[in-house]
Chains A and B, each alone.
Chain A
Amino acid sequence: MPITVSIVEDNDQLRATLAQVIQRAKGFQCVSHYPNAEAALEGLSKDRPQVVLMDINLPGMNGVECVRLLKQKLPDTQVIMLTVYEDTENIFNALAAGATGYLLKRTSSAELLAAIKEVVEGGSPMTAHIARKVVQSFQKPVPAPSPTEELTPREKEVLDYLAQGFLYKEIADKIGISYETVRTHIRRIYEKLQVRTRTQAVAKALGR
C-alpha cells in the first residue's frame, strides 16, 4: 500500500512540483492537492490521506488554524508543515495545534520523502530550538492540570537532552533506550503539548 499524501500549498507551481515528486516516488501516492485551507478542510475529510503537507502561510485561513481544525476532523492524519524560513514561533504554534513535524521548502526531494515516511512510521522530528519552546510551554502554569497533561520524568529527560542539542541516537545511547522509544516519547510529548496548549487557550479565553 503506498503512503497517501495530500498537499495544501498556495503557490501553484510549487504545489504541482511537489505533487509530481510524490506521485513519481515509489511507495507514495498524491491523492489530492488544495490551494487554500478552506478548500482543504472541505476536501480532506473525504480524501482521508495518511499525511498532509501544509504550507504555514496560506491566504485566508492560515496553516496553523487549518491544522487545528483538521486534527479535530481527522485525528489520525499526520500533518507536516512546509515553511520557507525557520520561523520558530509559527512552527511551534503549528506543532501545538497538532502538526507532527515541519520541513523547509528548500529540502531536497529525497529528504522530503524520507520525512513523510518517518512520520508515517511513528517518528516525530524535533529540533533543539523547538524542544526549548516546548519546555517553556510546559513551565507555564495551566489551571487544574490533569496528570495526563504533565510530562513524565523520562519525557522531561528526553526533552532536556534535545534542548541541549543531542541527536535522537545520542539520547538513546545516553539513557539506554532504543531509538524507537525516543521517537515514541517525542510523539507523546507532542500530544501532551497539544492538550496543554488547548487548556492554556481555554484558560486565556476565560480570562483566568
Chain B
Amino acid sequence: MRIAGWIKAVVAGLGLVICQAQAQAAARSFVHGGVPYWVDVWETDDGLPQGAVLTIVQSRDGYLWLGTLSGLVRFDGLQFEVFDESNTPGLNSGWVVCLFEDGEGHLWLGTETAGVAVIADGQVHALPVPLPGAERRLAAACQDATGTVWLYTANGELWRCGRDRTNSFLVERGLPSLCRSMIAESNGRVWVGTDWSLSALAPVPDAGSLDLPVQTNLSVRQLDLLLASRQGGFWCLAEGHILKWTTNGLVDFGTYPWGPVRPSAACEDGEGNLIVGTLGAGLFWFDVTGQPTQVSTNQGLSYNYILSLLMDREGNLWVGTDGGGLNRIKRQAFQTLEPTAGRVVQSVSPHPAGGLWIGFNAIGPEAVGLMYWSNGWIQPFGPRDGLLSPSVRAVHVDSAGQLWVGAWGRRGAGLFHFQAGRLRWVADPELRNREISVIYQDRRGELWLGTVSGLVRWREPHCQVFTTRDGLSADDVRALAEDSQGGLWIGTRGGGLNYLRDGVFTVVRKQPDGLPSDEIASLWMDAEGVLWIGTFGSGLARWQAGRWTRYTTREGLADNNIGYLLEDDQGNLWIGSSAGLMRVAKADLNALAQGQKRTLAVRTYDKADGLPTRECTRGSQPGPCRTSDGRLWFPTTKGLASVNPTQLQPNTNPPPVLIRAVLVDGHLQNTNPLQTRPLGTLIIPPGKERLEVHYVSLNLGAPDRARFKYRLEGHETAWTEVGNLRVARYSKLPPGQYRFQVTACNEDGLWNPTGTTLAITVQPPVWRRWWFLTAATAAVLGVVVALVHYLSTQKLHRQLEALRQKEALERDRARIARDIHDQLGASLTQMSLLGELIEADRHAPDEVAAHARQLSQTARDTTRVLDEIVWTVNPANDTLEGLVNYICKYAQDYLAVAGLRCRLELPAQVPAADIPPDVRHNVFLAAKEAITNVVRHAAASAVWVRLELEPAAFTLEIRDNGRGLPSATAPASGTRNGLRNMQRRMEDVGGQFWIGPGPTGGTAVRLTVPLRQARRC
C-alpha cells in the first residue's frame, strides 16, 4: 500500500517517532463490545452519606436504592435522600447491608445489627424475626414461585416469610461459611448456597415442618456467588470457574479471569451477559463471545473493591464500591480520537487507504498542524516536515489520492502539497501567503480554493483568482458547493451567496423571507438539489428552486451559530454549532419547509454523549467527514469525535415521573418522604395562596437532560414546557376541582405518555359552600322582609349620623381655629408690640435688653403652644402610646420648672390602640388641668403619673403627696370650675373622672377612658 510504504520511508529516512495511540482514553472511558462507555462517579462530596455502597436495587417506580452504613439512600440520578433512624419512624438502624424488592413492590431491608424491616406504602415495619444481632444480619433474600419471601442470615438461619406465618429452618448452622448465597430462578426455584454446598428447595408442603425440604443437593467445593439469570437457570461462581446451570445442564465458561481475588457481586447486562465485581480487581464484563473486559481504576472506576452491582432498566451499570462511592457506567454515542484530545481540530479528510488526515488550528513554532491516523498509529507533521504554518484550516484528499493542505497564519499561509513524505509549499506567488479556508473539488476534477482574499481555481501550475473586481460579492470565501448543472455556489463572509456559472457571478444577498444572513459558514448541496446554508448567527437556511426556509432556535435548533453540515446514510443532517452537535432528520426539515410542521425534533449531542466539548469548530471546508466504514468524524475545539450512526441507540425508556413533594403556602403536604406513590387528592383549604409541586423524572442515565411539561386541568388547557425545571408553582387558585399533570421526556425526546397526575381540590371559603349558601339564602329571605321595614327607619338614622359626624368635624375645626387665634394670635401680637417697644426704646439699652429677653421668651412659648396644637391635629399621634408619651413629657417639663419631682409608672409595653383626636385632646387637657392643680393647690413635692391597662379601657392616674383635698364644702371656686371641666371632658369622651384621697395621702385624680378597636396587638 502506498501509505504504508511512505510511513516506512519516513520511519527509516527521518527517524521520526511514531507513537502508538493508546487504544483507550486514559480516564473515565473504555470500549466494550465495540461500544464506548463512560464512567461517572458520585462520592461523599456529592451527597452520598458514605463511600461504601453495600447493596443496590432499583425499585419499580424507578428510584435507585442504596444500602450504606450511614443510612438507606434513595437516588433520582441527581440528589441523594438519606433515611435513617433519626428521620424515619420505624427504622431502627441506618446500617443497611442488604436490600430486596419483592413482587408487590415492598422493600425488604436488612440492617447490620437491628434485624430486618419492610417498607410498604411508605411505612416501615420491623420484622420480629430473624432476631437482631450482627451474626444474624441478612445475607440474601429472594421470592419463590408462590410469592413467599425467603430470608437467609449470615449465620445460616433460613426464614420463610409466608403471607400468614413465618417459620425458620437451619442450614448448616454452627458451621461458619463465608458464602451465604440464595437466589430464586426465574421459574421460582430457590437455591441456597454455602461455601461447600448448593441445594435446591422443594415446594414446602407443610408449613409446620422444621425440616428444610431439599430437592437437589449438589456438592461443591468453594462456592463464591450465585446469580439468577433472566434467561433461566443461574450463574454459579465456584471452584475458580464461571459456571452456568440451565435446564440443559452445566456450561463451564472457564476459569476466573480475575486471578486470586474474591468475586463479591454480580449482575447481568441487557443481553444476559455476566458482569462480576471483585474485591481488588475492579469488575469484569463478559461479551457475547465470553471474552471479559476488565473495568478498573485504569478505566475510570473510582475504586477496585466492589460490593454491589446493578444494571438499571435503561442499561446503565451501577457499581457500589467499598469506599470509592457510587459509579455509573453509561453507554456513549461518541468517542474522541485520543491523540487529538485537547486540540482544536479544523478539518478532516479520509485517505483511500483507510487512514484519516486531520488538520489542527495550532499555534507555536513547533506545533503539530497535521496528523495522519490509521488504525491506532499516528504520524504528526510540523514545521520540520515543511508545514510552515501550524494553523491548518483545510485538509483535502483529491480524487487522485493527492493531499492538499490549506493554512492560515502570518507566515507560511497558503497551499501545501504532500509529496514524498513532506509538505511542499506551492510556489505560485498568487497562492503564497494567501489564507485558505476551503479546498473543494468539483465534478470535473477541478480544485477550488476559498480564501480570505478571493476564490481561486487551481489547476497546477495554473492559478486563477476571482475577487470583488470580478463580480464576487465579498472576498472572504468560506464555503463552496456545486449543483447538478455544474454551477458553483460560493458562500462568503459579509457578502452572502454567489452563484458562478459560465464565468458569470450572480449575487444572492440577505433578504426578508430570503437568505437570512450575509455571513455564510457552510454549504451542503444534497442529492435532491436542495442547498443547505449554515450561517453565523442566523441559523440554518434551505433553498430549493428559489424557495427559502429558515430554521432557528425558535424551530428547535440548539443554536443559531451554525458551523459545518454533514449528511449521513440514514437521512439525517448533522449540524455543528457552538452549543452542540445537532442531528435532525431531513424528512423533518423538509416537512417544516412544506408547512406540515412548526418545530423540529432535534437531538443535540454534547459532553454527556461523549463529545470532548459541545463546541464544534467552524470556518473550514472540509469540516467533518464520513469514512468508508460508515463512521462519521466531527472536528471540535477539543478533539476529533467519531460516531457510528448505526450504533446510535435512542433511549427507548420513557422516563418515570413522580411527584416528590407538594407545598401549600410553603408547608409540606406529604410529610412521609418514603411514600412515592402519588397522593390521593390534595385538598387546599380556603385562604391558602401558593401551591408548589416538586416532581422528578427517573431517567437515571441523563437526569439533567430530561425535559418536563405540565398543566393544571381546570386552570389551563395548554401544556407548559419548562425544560429541566422541577417545580410548578401556582398562586391564588380559585375554588374548584383541578388535575395537575406532569410528564417528562428523556434525552432522545421520548415522552412518557402518561406521566403522573395529582387531583387538587381548592375548597371555597365558608361563604361559598353549598350548605352555607342554602342557609344563607333562607336567612336572606327572612332578613329582606325585616330589612325593608328597617331601611325606612335606617335612612333616617344615617342622615342623623352624617349630621353628627359633620358636627363633630366642625367642632374640631372650630376648636383648632380658636386655639390658633387665642393662643398664637395673642402671642404674635405681643411679639410685634415688643418689637415696636425695642425700636421705640432704642436709646435705653436696659429697656431694649429686657424687651429682647421677653421677645425671645414669648417666641419660645409660642413654639411650645404651636407644638401642642400640631400634636393635637397630627393624626400620626392618634395612639395610646403617643398620648401617654406626650402627657408624661408635659408633666416632666412642667413639674421640673415648678420644682416638683415627677415619677412615671408605665407598663413596659403600651398596646397599639387608636385614640381618636377628640378623645386625645380632651384627655390631654384633663390631665394638664390635674397637673396644674397639683402645682397650684397641693403644696406637694412629688407627682406620680401612672397608666393602668385593662382589656377595654385605660386609666391615667395623677397623684401627689400634697396636703390632700380640702373639705368638700369649700373648695376654691377656681378649683371647682377646673374639676367640673375635667368631669365634663371625660364625660364627652365616654370616660369616667374620679378624684379622691391618694392611697398614701395627697390627692389622686383618675381618668378612665374606654379603648375602641385596636389596630394590632
A-side residues, CB < 8 A to B, are: 84-86, 88, 104-106, 108, 127-129, 132, 135-136, 139, 163-167, 170
Contact = CB atoms under 8 A, between A and B. Distances in A.
The 5 A-B pairs with the shortest beta carbon distances in the complex, nearest first, are A106-B863, A165-B904, A129-B885, A106-B860, A165-B902
Contacts of B870: 85
Interface in B880-908: 882, 885-886, 888-889, 892, 896, 901-906, 908
Contacts of B886: 86
A105 B889 contact: no
Contacts of B945: 165
B888 A108 contact: no
B888 A129 contact: yes
A165 B903 contact: yes
Contact of A85 (B871, B888, B892, B905): B871
Contacts of A86: 867, 871, 885-886, 889
A129, A132, A165, A167 — most chain B CB neighbours (10 Å): A165
B804 interface: no
Nearest to A89: B876
Nearest to B870: A85
Interface in B130-173: none
Contact of B888 (A106, A136, A165): A165
Contacts of A129: 885, 888-889
Contacts of B908: 132, 135-136, 139
A51 to B, nearest CB: 22
Contact of A127 (B856, B864, B892, B906): B892
A152 B908 CA distance: 18
Nearest to A163: B904
Nearest to B906: A132
Contact of A108 (B860, B867, B909): B860
A149 to B, nearest CB: 19
Nearest to A88: B885
Contact of B867 (A85, A88, A170): A85
Q: How large is the interface on B (under 10, 10 to 19, 20 to 34, 35 or more residues)?
A: 20 to 34
A105 B888 CA distance: 20
B863 A105 contact: yes
B856 A164 contact: no
Contacts of A85: 867, 870-871
A166 B905 CA distance: 11
A128 B871 contact: no
11 contacts: A86-B889, A88-B885, A106-B864, A108-B860, A127-B889, A128-B889, A132-B906, A163-B904, A164-B903, A164-B905, A165-B903
Nearest to B859: A106
Contacts of B859: 106
Contacts of B896: 167
A37 B882 CA distance: 28
A25 to B, nearest CB: 16
Contacts of A128: 888-889, 892, 904
Nearest to A132: B906
A88 B882 CA distance: 8
A127 B889 CA distance: 8
Interface in B918-975: 945
A41 to B, nearest CB: 28
Contact of A170 (B864, B871, B901): B901
Interface in B511-528: none
A85 B871 CA distance: 8
Interface in B842-873: 856, 859-860, 863-864, 867, 870-871
A170 B892 CA distance: 14
A205 to B, nearest CB: 20
A142 B940 CA distance: 44
A28 to B, nearest CB: 19
A56 to B, nearest CB: 14
Contact of B856 (A104, A105, A108): A108
Contacts of B889: 86, 127-129
B483 to A, nearest CB: 66
A156 to B, nearest CB: 12
Contacts of B902: 165
A62 to B, nearest CB: 16
A174 to B, nearest CB: 12
A108 B902 CA distance: 23
A175 to B, nearest CB: 16
B882 to A, nearest CB: 8
B903 A84 contact: no
Nearest to A106: B863
B863 to A, nearest CB: 4
A139 B859 CA distance: 40
A206 B856 CA distance: 50
Which of A164, A166, A167 has the largest count of B CB atoms less than 10 A from its CB?
A164
Q: Give the one of A105, A128, A166 with max B CB within 10 A.
A: A128
A10 B885 CA distance: 28
A86 B677 CA distance: 65
Contacts of A170: 901
A65 B64 CA distance: 57
Given A84-B867, A128-B892, A166 B903 contact: yes
A72 to B, nearest CB: 29
Contacts of B906: 132, 163
A69 B860 CA distance: 32
A152 B909 CA distance: 21
A86 B945 CA distance: 19
B872 to A, nearest CB: 12
B91 to A, nearest CB: 33
A165 B882 CA distance: 17
Contacts of A104: 863
Which of the listed residues B859, B870, B885, B901 has the most CB atoms from chain A within 10 Å of its own CB? B885
A51 B16 CA distance: 85
Contacts of B904: 128, 163-165
A21 to B, nearest CB: 12
Contacts of A127: 889, 892
Nearest to B853: A108
A86 B863 CA distance: 12
